[in-house]
Homo-oligomer: A and B are copies of this chain.
């Protein structure tokens, strides 16, 4: 393993210099994804997919606690269903992949490969919902989604096929649907902040930015290091906009037939992309311990003649850590120097590295190295389980604290349009400004700066100035930013 080869494997740009190129390299060199033959498609490799499985497990637990159940609906949506809700199809039409043939036969009707599943799911719900006793109906599916992407694609962030969950619920009243929208958004916030260590801004979308067909959309938006926001996931109150064309009615307790209220909400493998961007550094990926497929890697340091003793000790340490429920890998692979292994596991973002050599055996201790700070410290062998648990907890908190700090620095408050413009142009980030609520003002900002309203916070602002564009009395504080 010559030094040159090691360099080849490393990232050749600094994260701060060129986030985009850095990201592309990390995704490939940490073996998270590889590009498919169709534009915008990728293979999710084991590390990335394991993170997704972790996210599934966590969110499934949250959903179970509130009575949501998992299901699976068909992927093919006949054209006449997809087009039933007018705004919906207008929003999705340009991105739909159409199946026109099976074998050599032309189909009588084109089938959309689901770009989202409201229309196919509601076709079933109109049969399943009959009475108030059937409500609320709380179902969720984990599946793949296809949207032909014309904008530049980026693994995990924007692609023509991705994985997500989509919850679809039916309620008797608007109030219950409102509660559901917030319940799920709060679950998302907890998932993303507590596990992925990424702080978020939450709020409503503007009319312009809401989901095609929704009454309103709520969102959570993390901020990326290059000053662009990323829509992390959304939760929509669809009102009766779908229950009417799809005829989802129930007989209420008062014996009258009413249209139901529906919601949908989703997060996707985009969250993997956010995790890479927010925490990674010039050495590669940095994974929060709570979602790392490997939390600790043990690298034995061999010296001639002492390999067996070192390996035996390394395996003892592995077992001690595993007995604490820690996900631990002993990298005993041959033909690689310890230095090579250090770089490889740093690239892959493993939170803690443990080194064990003859000297450590003599002193009955091991060396632990933090991926986030690079800090090294000796740990007495008999405390290794508890110490590493504490270390993993410390890394998790530190990553969140650092990300919170970064987010704070990326928020600029101003009602001065010139300052918004210059901020968006230079450092980016969120610019929080007073806004009258008019689409024309929002559109002007978008056209002149590329920034859109990412979120309108749920809390009433303490003081409201005048609209940054028209100068009229503002209705909201809005978070403006450029976005992925």
Contacts and interface: CB of A to CB of B under 8 A. Distances in A.
Contact of A127 (B34, B70, B93): B34
A72 B95 contact: no
Given A95-B102, A102-B97, A113-B99, A70 B43 contact: no
Given A43-B71, A46-B71, A139-B46, A38 B97 contact: no
A124 B45 CA distance: 10
Nearest to A334: B133
A81 to B, nearest CB: 7
A94 interface: yes
Contact of A103 (B76, B94, B102, B163): B94
A41 B95 contact: no
Nearest to A46: B69
Nearest to A149: B102
Interface string A97-114: 111111111000001010
A65 to B, nearest CB: 14
B95 A71 contact: no
Contact of A70 (B42, B53, B120, B123): B53
A163 B70 CA distance: 14
A146 interface: yes
A432 interface: no
Interface string A68-89: 0111111110100100000000
Contacts of A113: 75, 99, 113
Contacts of A139: 46
| Main SS at interface, chain A | mixed
A161 interface: yes
A330 interface: no
A174 to B, nearest CB: 25
B46 A72 contact: no
Nearest to A45: B71
B161 A76 contact: yes
A161 to B, nearest CB: 6
B74 A38 contact: yes
A36 interface: yes
B94 A72 contact: no
Contacts of A49: 69-72
B37 A123 contact: yes
Contact of A98 (B101, B124, B133): B101
A103 B41 contact: no
10 contacts: A34-B127, A36-B76, A38-B76, A49-B69, A49-B70, A76-B161, A96-B103, A98-B100, A99-B99, A144-B144
Interface of A: 34, 36-38, 41-46, 49-50, 52-53, 69-76, 78, 81, 93-105, 111, 113, 120-121, 123-124, 127-128, 133, 139, 143-144, 146, 148, 160-161, 163, 335
Given A72-B144, A75-B144, A97-B101, 13 more contacts: A43-B124, A44-B71, A46-B70, A46-B71, A49-B71, A50-B70, A95-B102, A96-B103, A98-B99, A98-B100, A98-B102, A99-B99, A144-B144
Nearest 10 pairs of A and B residues by beta carbon? A102-B148, A41-B74, A46-B69, A36-B74, A44-B72, A94-B103, A98-B101, A100-B100, A38-B76, A97-B99
